[in-house]
Structure 1
Amino acid sequence: MEKNSVTLTIKFLLLQYLFVLSVAQNFDFFYFVQQWPGSYCDTKQSCCYPTTGKPAADFGIHGLWPNYNDGTYPSNCDPNNLYDQSKISDLISRMQQDWPTLACPSNSGTTFWSHEWDKHGTCSESNLDQHGYFKATLNLKSKFDLLQILQNGGINPDGGSYSLSSIKTTISNAIGYTPWIECNSDADGNNQLYQIYLCVDKSGSNLIKCPIFPNGQCASTIRFPSF
């Protein structure tokens, strides 16, 4: 009986491992998501600057999220592979600059980065280990300067309003692919540019045409608040 019990336990653990591995391997693409800090902070909820100080007036990384072509996504794929900051010590200065936290209370960003790895990064483990995941995300940010792209098209974070179509067209003309725009509401209820989604292949390196866009809709004209 005891031997059979041990055998069953081993089989069960092996099945669990294979299931986690299959989930991590079977995603179809990434959403690379950047957020505008002015829109994060310009809400009734407000925001808190990180302990390193006010971030730059630039789009900041939200995350690199594995997704399926049907619009669903895997999450928390490996609870045994938790965030370990010692593995990305050489990237921290870049992360503080390009992946800042705006959550309250003010903090160093570790909670934010830990959440992104544990929920999303572990589902890309077959393609990118922890260091590879964060480095690939930072490299995407460096490669596609969304603020500069928008400003080149005359779209500036000056509190003015711009057509949603002009924002999409400006980005599409620069990168070759149509982005998805997520809006939120400021403290007065006005629709504003909040997050920009680009689609990336499973290597985490190359933009692709988005197989599917998230749900949600912006107004035809939206604000681009200052920060």
Structure 2
Amino acid sequence: MKSTASLSLPILFLLAVVSSAQAYDFFYFVLQWPGSYCDTKQSCCYPTSGKPAADFGIHGLWPNNNDGSYPSNCDPRTSFDKSKIQGLLSSLQSNWPTLACPSNDGTNFWAHEWEKHGTCAESVFNEYSYFKTALDFKSSLNLLQSLQSAGIQPDGGHYSLKSIKDAIEQGTGYAPYIECNADESGNSQLYQVYLCVDSSGSQLIECPIFPRGKCNSQIEFPMF
């Protein structure tokens, strides 16, 4: 008869795997303004598919915890496989474009997002459904339209941080977190918008916690 100790090791290993796969409370859904990515000292490179549209692009769908911590790179055995998302490539190029240099087709960006963040939510998503879910949220949230309806245009002008937050909340129904970066002159500009998704990846929720960081009260919305 096997001892209790010998039986406990594989059980503990299984519990550890299950625990690591589910160790998050919600997702940050992060959208990025390309004009702000490019309008920095580092600048940017357009993808090999051409200049993206002047619209917010997806940065990622990131599992996060209510205490501000987050899991990452949870399953090194599940590496990115481009063949699994062949049917999404056109949409990914349009809605999840890379702006990193040197110019490339986006594969490295998507692989990074899946391996760092997606593998931590394998209890909910496989690779295809991870990207498809993010694309579906993007199509249901027209952030640019929400801002433009409030008179906030990507024209290089400065707008109050409060007016930007209010416009996005009015358009989506949920309060956003706004991340800023700095242009070549050091001006604070609208860079990324964070909204939150429940742990099942099915619907937007109010964010349990916002990232740390602070924008100026007036921020630039650069052209692209």
Shorter-chain TM-score tier? over 0.9
> Could you give the per-residue CA deviations for residues 106-144 of structure 1, whole angstroms, max 9, x where no partner exists?
000000000000000000100111111000000000000
Q: Are 1:105 and 2:102 matched, yes or no?
A: yes
1:18-57 correspondence to structure 2 within 5 Å = 18-57=15-54
Query: Residue 112 of structure 1 aligns to a residue in which SS?
Result: helix
What's 2:173 paired with?
A: 176
2:129 maps to 1:132: yes
Whichever residue aligns with residue 20 of structure 1, its letter is: V
What's 2:221 paired with?
A: 224
1:159 corresponding residue in structure 2 = 156
**Structure 1 consecutive aligned stretches of length 4 or more whose deviation exceeds 3 Å:** 10-18
Question: 1:177, CA displacement in angstroms?
Answer: 1.2
Taking only the aligned residue pairs, the percentage that are identical comes to 65
8 Å CA contact retained: 1:20, 1:77: no
**Displacement of 1:39 after TM fit?**
0.2
Unaligned runs of 5+ in 1: 1-6
Alpha-carbon distance, 1:24 to partner:
1.6
Q: Is the 8 A contact 1:150 1:156 kept in 2?
A: yes
Aligned Cα RMSD in Å?
Answer: 1.7
Distance (Å, rounded) in 1 between the aligned partners of 2:131 and 2:18: 20
TM-score, normalized by length of structure 1?
Answer: 0.93
Alpha-carbon distance in structure 2 between the residues aligned to 1:64 and 1:30 = 6
Unpaired runs of 5+ in structure 2?
none
**Cα distance, 1:40 vs structure 2:** 0.1
CA contact (8 A) 1:199 1:207 kept: yes
Shift of 1:56: 0.5
Aligned-partner Cα distance in 2 for 1:88–1:14: 34
